[in-house]
């Protein structure tokens, strides 16, 4: 029975409840979760608008924690923060969804073609693959033995089944395609491995300078208008993950509308199939109840871990964790907990760590042996772009990649607006071996050289502003000239150009190699007395500027032209 209502927080008399239990609140059976117990008094965060609830209304516990339904039918779906299918809700209630309306996340009537991979008599345990369902052209959904079940397969059928029908019997226990998993409980890997393979995003500033590995965690902080959401969209469209889980956590409704309109029309770059055939969207916009916003990132993580356990490389995008932290702060305030820094709860750091630590890769549980990974990329929206605020700082303690967005770069229309002086990747050394073996043996060296030139440019720009360009040495002028080419011809990338919006690792290496060859040839030419002005005017610069729109063969052809131009400069000087 309800004793108090304070926004999304309801205090109720509930004798049989456990912490984290899912409950139904009021006569409309609003969905909520027990977050605190004091004797027989339970504090419940309600995932829907609580207007109209009154003291004395009934509260009923389900006896189970908030869980997600896992099984065929998730790919291509659009859920809210607690996994209610928004498209099905709209069919029932229209654009304005009434409170208390619940629809099963996955269809109970659709039949799926199940193909067994195991055999009757096999000994199986948690995580072993019983068979597959071809869910989309891009995703083969592997049906695994659920947690808590092991033994000998006594029955295993093939054919078309709904997700609730029994497909197998293991030691007397029926197994269906539908599983349920608590959202706040991690699914374990069989063996966690160090990050060693990059998540290729096709964005040059990321893949070359500040790479992230499959199974890694990254933070994308930046002020309003710096391009956090655009970068998340680019990663979701072009990264070489097998499965994409995109969580719009507290973002503006128009941004989620763009996602919902764009993604069904996009093509997967590897297969040419619709991108939605490997994507799951979770939409919890800023005007939706804040309690469901807090749950949405866990819902996304539980779904992502499920596909990782099948042996897929999954990328989870959370946009934005600041809005999630604000939901934590509001609920903490209503619980009258002691506030921490800037009003956030004292446990903000541990909650962020718990979320980002769900990233990882390695050997999955069960047989056949397979490797999977979960990469988490979270954007942060600090007020006024203040990177010292608690959400950013606590995120940086657990995320090993920092892509710092710069409002100044965004206003200059330089995208991605990632500041190369602020950003870093702690995976760069681990991934260096992969780049050197798979792309080019000098890839890591070129990366270090490019970062050094960009840092030198930043130091020289201050001197130039004070005393002018002509007051510095020709060699320093060359640094500025080449660094400008790095910024404009390599780091800048157009999301709207059909060629430039995605750049392969091979193409990235060739463009970077060409620009750094320009620097080395320029240094030699200056040593032989060639004027810096002559170097600035070489005709091949136009081809370098157009390299990002060119094919790899066309970029390779620039190298000999560059060498010929410098040979002509030197011979002209000697003559």
Is residue 102 in some structural domain? no
The number of beta carbons lying within 10 Å of the beta carbon of residue 534 is 16
Residues of the chain with pLDDT under 70: 573-575
String of DSSP letters for 325-352: HHHHHHHHHHTTPPB-GGG-BTTHHHHH
pLDDT of residue 222: 86
* 342 and 283 in a common domain: yes
CATH of the domain at 340: 3.40.50.300
Is 159 annotated as belonging to a binding site? no
pLDDT of residue 575: 46
* 226 and 349 in a common domain: yes
Q: What angle do CA 516, 521, 526 make, to 5 degrees?
A: 125
Is residue 184 in some structural domain? no
Contact 228, 381 (CB under 8 A): yes
Is residue 255 in some structural domain? yes
* 83 and 52 in a common domain: no
Is 213 annotated as belonging to a binding site? no
Domain-ending residue, one of 366, 396, 426: 426
pLDDT of residue 116: 96
26: alpha, beta or left? (left if phi > 0; alpha if psi -120 to 50): left
Q: What's the total number of domains in the chain?
A: 4
Is 227 annotated as belonging to a binding site? yes
Is residue 353 in some structural domain? yes
pLDDT of residue 510: 97
Is residue 59 in some structural domain? yes
Tokens of 393: 């700082």
Cα–Cα nearest to 513, from 479, 475, 547, 564: 547
* 494 and 462 in a common domain: yes
* 40 and 130 in a common domain: no
* 328 and 206 in a common domain: yes
* 158 and 194 in a common domain: no
Is residue 436 in some structural domain? no
Is residue 94 in some structural domain? no
CATH of the domain at 118: 2.40.50.100
Is 222 annotated as belonging to a binding site? yes
pLDDT of residue 573: 60
* 363 and 228 in a common domain: yes
* 512 and 542 in a common domain: yes
Strands (E), 265-343: 279-284, 313-319
Euclidean distance between CA atoms 172 and 468, whole angstroms: 83
Is residue 123 in some structural domain? yes
Is 343 annotated as belonging to a binding site? no
Euclidean distance between CA atoms 198 and 377, whole angstroms: 14
CATH of the domain at 470: 1.10.1140.10
* 51 and 13 in a common domain: yes
Is 223 annotated as belonging to a binding site? yes
* 500 and 368 in a common domain: no
Q: What length does the chain have?
A: 575
**Residues 41-94 pLDDT 10s:** 999 999 988 989 999 999 999 999 999 999 999 999 999 888 999 888 888 877
- Residue 514 is part of which domain span? 443-574
* 348 and 219 in a common domain: yes
Is 361 annotated as belonging to a binding site? no
Is 229 annotated as belonging to a binding site? yes
């Amino acid at each position: 029975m309800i004793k108090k209502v304070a926004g999304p927080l309801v205090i109720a008399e509930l004798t049989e409840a456990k912490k984290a239990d899912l409950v139904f609140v009021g006569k409309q059976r609003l969905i909520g979760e027990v977050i605190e117990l004091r004797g027989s008094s339970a504090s419940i965060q309600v995932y829907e608008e609580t207007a109209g609830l009154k003291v004395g209304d009934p509260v009923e516990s389900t006896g189970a924690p908030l869980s997600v339904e896992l099984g065929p039918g998730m790919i291509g779906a659009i859920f809210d923060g607690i996994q209610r299918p928004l498209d099905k809700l709209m069919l029932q209630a229209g654009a304005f969804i009434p409170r208390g309306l619940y629809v099963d996340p996955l269809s109970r009537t659709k039949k799926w073609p199940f193909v067994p991979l195991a055999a009757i008599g096999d000994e199986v345990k948690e995580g072993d693959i019983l068979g597959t369902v071809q869910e989309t052209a891009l995703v083969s959904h592997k049906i695994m033995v659920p947690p808590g079940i092991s033994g000998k397969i006594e029955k295993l059928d093939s054919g078309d089944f709904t997700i609730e029908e029994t497909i197998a019997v293991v030691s007397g226990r029926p197994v269906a395609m539908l599983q349920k998993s608590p959202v706040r409980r991690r699914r374990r890997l069989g063996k966690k491995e160090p990050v060693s393979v990059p998540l290729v995003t096709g964005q040059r500033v990321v893949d070359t300078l500040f790479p992230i590995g499959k199974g890694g965690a990254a933070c994308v902080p930046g002020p309003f208008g710096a391009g956090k959401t655009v970068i998340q969209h680019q990663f979701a469209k072009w990264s070489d993950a097998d499965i994409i889980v995109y969580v719009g956590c507290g973002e503006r409704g128009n941004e989620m509308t763009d996602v919902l309109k764009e993604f069904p029309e996009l093509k997967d770059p590897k297969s040419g199939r619709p991108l939605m055939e490997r994507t799951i969207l979770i939409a919890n916009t800023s005007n939706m109840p804040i309690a469901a916003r807090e749950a949405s990132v866990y819902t996304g993580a539980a779904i992502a871990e499920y596909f990782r356990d099948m042996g897929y490389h999954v990328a989870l995008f959370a946009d934005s964790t600041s809005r999630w932290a604000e939901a934590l702060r509001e609920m903490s305030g209503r619980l009258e907990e002691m506030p921490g820094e800037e009003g956030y709860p004292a446990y903000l750091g541990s909650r962020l760590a718990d979320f980002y630590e769900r990233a990882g890769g390695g050997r999955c549980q069960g047989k056949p042996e397979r490797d999977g990974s979960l990469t988490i990329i979270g954007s942060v929206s600090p007020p006024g772009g203040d990177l010292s605020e608690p959400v950013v700082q606590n995120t940086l303690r657990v995320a090993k990649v920092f892509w710092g967005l710069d409002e100044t770069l965004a206003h200059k229309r330089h995208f991605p607006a990632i500041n190369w002086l602020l950003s870093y990747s702690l995976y760069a050394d681990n991934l260096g071996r992969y780049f050197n073996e798979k792309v080019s043996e000098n890839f890591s060296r070129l990366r270090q050289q490019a970062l050094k030139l960009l840092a030198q440019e930043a130091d020289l720009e201050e001197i130039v502003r004070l005393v002018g360009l002509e007051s510095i040495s020709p060699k320093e002028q060359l640094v500025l000239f080449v660094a400008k080419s790095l910024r404009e011809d390599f780091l800048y990338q157009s999301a709207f150009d059909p060629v430039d919006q995605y750049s392969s690792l091979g193409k990235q290496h060739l463009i970077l190699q060409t620009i750094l060859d320009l620097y080395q040839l320029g240094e030699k030419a200056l040593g032989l007395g060639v004027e810096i002005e002559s170097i600035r005017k070489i005709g091949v610069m136009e081809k370098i500027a157009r390299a990002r729109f060119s094919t790899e063969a066309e970029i390779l052809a620039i190298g000999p032209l560059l060498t010929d131009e410098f040979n002509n400069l030197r011979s002209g000087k000697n003559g």
